[in-house]
Amino acid sequence: MGKSIALIVNGKRKKVKAHAASRVLDVLRETLKLTGTKEGCGEGECGACSVILNGEVVNSCLILFGQLNDGDDITTIEGIGGKKKLHPLQEYFLECGASQCGICTPGMIMAAYALLKKNPRPTHDEIRQAVAGNLCRCTGYAKIIEAIERCATSNVKI
Amino acid sequence: MGVVGQNAVRLDGREKVTGRALYVDDIVMPGMWHGVAVRTTIPSGKVLSVVFDPRFNWKKVVVADRHDIPGRNVVTMIEEDMPLLVHDEIRHIGEAIVLIAAPTKKMAEDARRHVEIRYEEWQPVLTIEDSKAKKRVIHGSDNVISRYKIDKGDVSAGFKDSDAIVEGVYRTGAQEQAYIEPQGIIASPGKGGGVDLVGSMQCPFYILKALERLLGMSETKLSVKQATVGGAFGGKEDYPSVLAGYASVLALKAKRPVKMIYDRNEDMNVTTKRHPSVVRHRTGVKKNGMLVAMDIGIELDAGAYTTLTPVVLSRGFLHSAGPYRCPNVRIAGAAFATNAPPNGAFRGFGAPQTLFAVEAHMDKIAEEIGMSPLELRRINCLKVGDEMATGQILKESVGALECLEKAAAASGFERKWRASLPLCKGESEGIEVRSTLPDPPLQREGTVRGIGISLFMHGGGFTGSGEAKMKGKAGIRLERDGKLTVLTGCTEMGQGAHTVLPQIVAECLGVPLSCVRVETPDTSKVPDSGPTVASRVTMVIGKVLCVCAEEMKRRLSEAAGRDHGDFRSLAGSFLKKRGPLTIIEAYEPTPGIHWDDTTYHGDAYAAYSWGCDVAEVEVDKDTFEIKVERMYMAHDVGRAVNPQMVEGQIEGGTLQALGWALMEDNRYDGGKLLNNRFQTYIIPTTMDTPFLELITVEHPFSHGPLGAKGVGELPHDGAAPAVVNAIANATGIRISEIPATPERLFEECKKKHFRSS
Ligand code: FES
Ligand code: FES
């Protein structure tokens, strides 16, 4: 029942083999060892598992591996910036104090990333709406929105 | 050096924003299996038999029951009344009976489905009222888990002396901590038959103590290490001892590492919640607004076992009279056992419940004597030199009045409050407004606006003699490379402790923050600093680290034979001569603090943080929907070590409190939690977040590290009463039970209409 799909994961082509009924979240975390994507509810409610699939932000806990197709492009938190060079969104999250316990942070950054890719100059309300599906219990969201807003107005390329 | 007072970037921040931080579920160990618990499905009764379905191949898994517990079948907290695995009597739904470990989580869950429990069912006790009436005795001789009494002055005489007596009853519901990372722990067999643990926790040393009893092992065979924690809020204070127990028993039996991670439903079903409360107030007041007598009754629903309830109740007691001066105060009450999962620690720890009551009640008093809520608070607000209900005389660091004045001024409270004094007619058109000035121009059509205020405090550190008994230890190690390591059992759970403590050390030693790191909290490597709770880390452990820093400087100077020169050069020469140096000190209570546990008299807390919240709400006249538009929060934290992190605590805590005030409500049916998922247990999203305006007030505490007090819990204390007071200002309806849902508001409106017609 294992299935093999040719994916693009964080910019690299990869033949990934997994059970068709596995959640994409588990394939990322267990098969590909990309543990930056988190599980907060497993039911599509918290957004901790947000990744970008073909340009759209999705809850990876709600998509089964078997639903993916050859050539699908997935970006996770590991794909946008790393140890050596942080992505501007990561920089602003750090600087603004937008990450406390950090468990929502990768999902939150991915949702913000998808927004800024499509809409580089979002309004305050557009930002609020774009991350409304991502729960954060620590920050009260104020600094998260500030970080995204500052990144958007800084003119850096996303 | 100017490190304290700076917005230092969190030291664990890079790991978190890149997704590299390792939370317990990210950790994989060789040969690791996965554990699950088979749980009771009835709230009260007895296990008759456990039947293992022969169609399942039980050889592929490991099953453990209470006979596999090497030590005593108890989870040690304050009392030892809670078994790890049901022994005889079932006290709530979700108690574990049998544990299963399997190579995969799926297989473990499959095995769990093949276990059937047969019961004898008993009539459960599900409410405070039934427990109090001893409908059945399920705990001790009278269902009382804990009881206190505080008496000051002469309450009866005070009532005689009053111009008006105002009564009210206030209720709050259970609240789920809803940390986004569910609970999880990995236990592995360790050296000499011991166990090593790593997991999501607030208090590694609590787990250590619980495991000593449970596994019958000395602590030398055990180690408990914190993984990165994805939020806790009190929910990971006591419960991880239970999960650690399960995982350890399985790991010992399976002879391999066993990981146990709860999914969201299981986490919500079985872990602790904020205690539901009923608080009764009877208050005597003079025409001029002076409080003369306060008679307060407090009842908490403890759930099935003692856990931390006695201390939650105690903190509730000590905050129940609010930040007010009153010569005659009587506080009495108890926590009662019910057949619900035990309630436990949640940010604020009893204080939000009793502060909700007193702050909603203050507005009722103001209304009855025809005074503005601001003026009533101003008149009675505690100042330096005043005496609290326990007889504590406030000697310093009382920013209450400044918080009140600043929040009131920033929000234009008095003007807006007068502008929207309303009237509920309850006619078919819903809520009718008597007068509304065209204040905020953005007001939506079909809505009424209101503003509400609350004044509150939060005692820092353990209650009474707690800190003196605990003697929390912490240390600093001068490393070979000249850098410094902070040694503490206090954990980072997002609040910023592992940035703030290094900031304090850097400041005290005059070195840059980049020279200081924190050792991972691991019971085999760090001293017991006491638990990471009670807004105590910055104030108490920060202070211990200041003392360590002084001692280190003294030792270095002594060795160098000079007391001048900067830290680096002194450290350099010391390292050359003698090598690394570790200094560990224990907390010395603030001088002049006295507390009597038997009479509940004396200095309940060494210092209090103070706060004033103002809420502006908009209520839809047709749907009764309540929207908080704006919150003003003036908080006195002594000295903000890291202002950005202080803001983060206030913003996050306020939103969590708004959730409790308006939407979060654990509902039970026959002892079963109905809303055990984020689909049904709704917490605030960005769309529910009002505009948050912060006002910093700093009244330094002389015995705090560089003046700092605690801030972790304070923000959960004030939002709920400010909101219900604002709803009353908007609609004329006093909501005395939270969450203040549209349904509740509608019901109250109907009742009011019914009474008046
Ligand atoms: S884990 Fe996918 S939405 Fe919560
Ligand atoms: S930072 Fe903890 S949940 Fe968002």
Q: Which of B586, B617, B632 lies at the terminal end of a domain, its last residue?
A: B586
| CB spacing of B689 vs A39 below 8 angstroms | no
pLDDT one-digit tens code per residue, B395-414: 999 999 999 999 999 999 99
Residue B416 resides in a domain: yes
Sign of CA dihedral B540, B543, B544, B545: positive
Which pLDDT value is given to residue B2?
78
B155 in a structural domain:
no
Give me the pLDDT at residue B616, please.
Answer: 97
**Which one of B20, B648, B679 has the shortest CB-CB distance to A97?**
B648
Helix (H, G, I), strand (E, B) or coil at B577: helix
CA of B727 to the centre of ligand 1 (A): 34
Structure confidence at residue A1 as a pLDDT band (50, 70, 90): low
A11 touches chain B (CB under 8 A): no
Q: How far apart are CA A73 and CA A55, in angstroms?
A: 8
Q: At what angle do helices B239-254 and B204-215 cross, to 10 degrees?
A: 50
Residues B324 and B227 both lie in one domain: no
Q: How far is the CA of A67 from the centre of ligand 2 (A)?
A: 30
Q: What pLDDT does A158 receive?
A: 84
How far is B294 from A78, CA to CA, in rounded Å?
Answer: 58
Q: How confident is the model at residue B269 (pLDDT cuts 50, 70, 90)?
A: very high
> pLDDT band for position B422 (50/70/90)?
low
Give the β-pairing of B668-669 and B277-285.
unpaired
Closest residue CA from atom 3 of ligand 1: A44
pLDDT band at B429 (very low <50, low <70, confident <90, very high): very low
- Ligand 1: lining residues by beta carbon, under 6 Å: A 39-42, 44-49, 59, 61
Q: How far apart are CA A79 and CA A87, in angstroms?
A: 10
Chain A positions in Cβ-Cβ contact with residue B655 (cut-off 8 Å): 140-141
Report residue B427's pLDDT band, with 50, 70 and 90 as the boundaries.
very low
Let me know if residue B139 belongs to a domain.
Answer: no
Residues in chain B with CB shorter than 8 Å from the CB of A81 are 18
pTM across the whole model: 0.96
pLDDT value at position B428? 36
Q: Is A132 an interface residue toward B (CB < 8 Å)?
A: yes
B437 CB near ligand 2 (under 6 Å): no
**Region B259-288: what's the mean pLDDT?**
98
Query: Nearest residue on chain A to B657, judged by CA atoms?
Result: A140
Q: How confident is the model at residue B425 (pLDDT cuts 50, 70, 90)?
A: very low
* Residues 6 or more apart in contact with residue B16 via CB below 8 angstroms: A99, A101, A102, A105, B10, B228
pLDDT number for residue B436: 41
Provide the chain B residues 134-193 that lie in CB contact (below 8 A) with chain A. Answer: 177-182
Q: Any chain B CB within 8 A of the CB of A62? A: no
For A102, name the nearest residue in chain B, comparing CA atoms only. B16
Report if residue B4 sits inside a domain: no
**Statement: residue B562 has pLDDT above 90:** no
In this structure, the answer to whether residues B660 and B511 fall within a common structural domain is: no
Check CB contact under 8 Å for B16 and A99.
Answer: yes
Question: At B232, is the secondary structure helix, strand, or coil?
Answer: coil
User: Of the candidates B9, B652, B683, which has its C-beta nearest A135's C-beta?
Assistant: B683
Which of B223, B212, B214, B191 is closest to B70 using CA atoms? B214
Whether B16 sits inside 8 A of A37 (CB atoms) is no
Q: Are B102 and B247 in contact (CB under 8 A)?
A: no
Say whether both B416 and B397 belong to one domain: yes
Cβ of A140 within 8 Å of Cβ of B686? The answer is no
The string of pLDDT tens digits covering residues B176-214 is 999 999 999 999 999 999 999 999 999 999 999 999 999
What distance in Å separates residue A84's CA from the closest CA in chain B?
Answer: 10
Q: Is the CB of B648 under 6 A from ligand 2?
A: no
Pick the range with the lowest mean pLDDT from B273-277, B416-420, B551-555, B733-737.
Answer: B416-420
For the CA of B230, the nearest atom of ligand 2: 2
Q: How far is B687 from chain A (nearest CA, A)?
A: 6
Which of A82, A101, A129 has the CB atom closest to B230's CB atom?
Answer: A101
Give contacts of B 214-243 with A, CB under 8 A: 228-233
Say if residues B404 and B378 touch (Cβ distance below 8 Å): yes
Interface test with A, best of B6, B16, B176 (most A CBs within 10 A): B16
Question: Of the candidates B270, B297, B331, which is a domain's last residue?
Answer: B270
How many whole angstroms from A2 Cα to the centroid of ligand 1?
Answer: 24
Same domain, B478 and B542: yes
- Domain presence at residue B159: no
Residues 676-715 of B with CB under 8 A from A: 677-679, 683, 685-687, 689, 692
The closest alpha carbon to B422, from B164, B632, B287, B617, belongs to: B617
- Residue B608's pLDDT is 98
- Does one domain contain both B295 and B266? no
**Where among B270, B301, B329 does a domain terminate?**
B270
Residue B677 has pLDDT above 70, yes or no: yes
Let me know if residue B127 belongs to a domain: no
pLDDT for residue B754: 65
B340 pLDDT exceeds 80? yes
The tens digit of pLDDT for each residue in A125-157 reads: 999 999 999 999 999 999 999 999 999 999 888
What is the atom index within ligand 2 of the atom nearest the CA of A108? 4
Checking if the pLDDT of A121 tops 60, the result is: yes
Contact A78 B493 (CB under 8 A): no
Q: Based on the structure, what is the number of domains in chain B? A: 3
Per the CB < 8 Å rule, is A41 touching B677?
Answer: yes
Q: Which amino acid is residue B528, in one-letter code?
A: D
B612 and B540 assigned to the same domain = no
User: Which pLDDT belongs to residue B658?
Assistant: 98
Assign B1 a pLDDT band (cuts: 50, 70, 90).
low
B346 in contact with A, Cβ within 8 Å? no
Q: Do residues B528 and B499 touch, judged by C-beta distance below 8 A? A: no
Residue A7: beta bridge partners?
A14
Apex CA B698: angle with CA B693 and CA B702, to 5°? Answer: 155
> Which pLDDT does position A103 carry in this prediction?
98
Q: Give the full edge-to-edge strand order of the sheet including A50-53.
A: A12-19, A2-9, A73-75, A50-53, A56-59
Ligand 1 atom at shortest distance from the alpha carbon of A38: 1
For residues B336-357, one letter each, b for 16 or more C-beta atoms within 10 angstroms of the residue's C-beta and e for the rest, the string is bbbbbbbbbbbbbbbbbbbbbb
Mean pLDDT of chain B: 95
If asked whether residues B624 and B658 sit together in one domain, one would say yes
Interface of B with A in 627-666 (CB under 8 A): 644-645, 647-648, 650-656
pLDDT on residue B565: 78
B185 with B24: CB under 8 angstroms?
yes
Same domain, B568 and B454: no
Q: How far is the CA of B652 from the centre of ligand 2 (A)?
A: 9
A103 contacts B26? CB cut-off 8 A:
no
The confidence score (pLDDT) of residue B591 equals 86
Ligand sitting nearest the alpha carbon of A104: 2
Residue A102 Cβ inside 6 Å of ligand 2? The answer reads: yes
Give me the pLDDT at residue A74, please. Answer: 98
A27-68 pLDDT, tens per residue?
999 999 999 999 999 999 999 999 999 999 999 999 999 999
* Cα B570-B571-B573 angle, rounded to 5 deg: 70
Q: What pairing do the DSSP bridges indicate for beta strands B96-102 and B144-152?
A: unpaired
Task: For residue B536, give the amino acid letter.
Answer: R
Query: What is the mean pLDDT of the segment spanning B115-122?
Result: 98
Q: Any CB–CB contact under 8 A between A41 and chain B?
A: yes
Cβ distance A42 to B22 less than 8 Å, yes or no, reads: no
At B713, is the secondary structure helix, strand, or coil? coil
pLDDT score of B364 more than 60: yes
Chain B environment of A143 (Cβ under 8 Å): 644, 647-648, 651
B457 and B526 housed in the same domain: no
- B312 and B402 co-located in one domain: yes
In a domain, B339, yes or no: yes
CB pairs under 8 A between A and B: 170
- pLDDT at residue B510, as a whole number: 95
Average pLDDT over residues B27-35: 98
Domain assignment of residue B144, yes or no: no
Please judge whether B652 and A37 are an interchain contact, meaning their C-beta atoms are less than 8 angstroms apart. no
Of the partner residues B14, B26, B648, the one whose CB lies closest to the CB of residue A143: B648
Structural domain boundaries, residue B512: 13-20+472-586
Residues B285 and B264 both lie in one domain: no
| Domain containing residue B258: CATH number | 3.30.365.10
Question: Has residue B150 got a pLDDT over 60?
Answer: yes
Work out the percent of chain B whose per-residue pLDDT is above 90. 92
Say what the pLDDT of residue A155 is: 85
Mark whether B302 and B246 lie in a shared domain. Answer: no
Instruction: List the beta strands (DSSP E) in B252-339.
Output: 258-261, 277-285, 291-303, 328-337
CB < 8 Å to B180, chain A: 38, 40, 46, 48, 101, 103-104, 135-137
Q: What distance in Å separates residue A10's CA from the closest CA in chain B?
A: 13
B496 Cβ under 8 Å from any chain A Cβ? yes
CA B359 – CA B611 distance, rounded (Å):
12
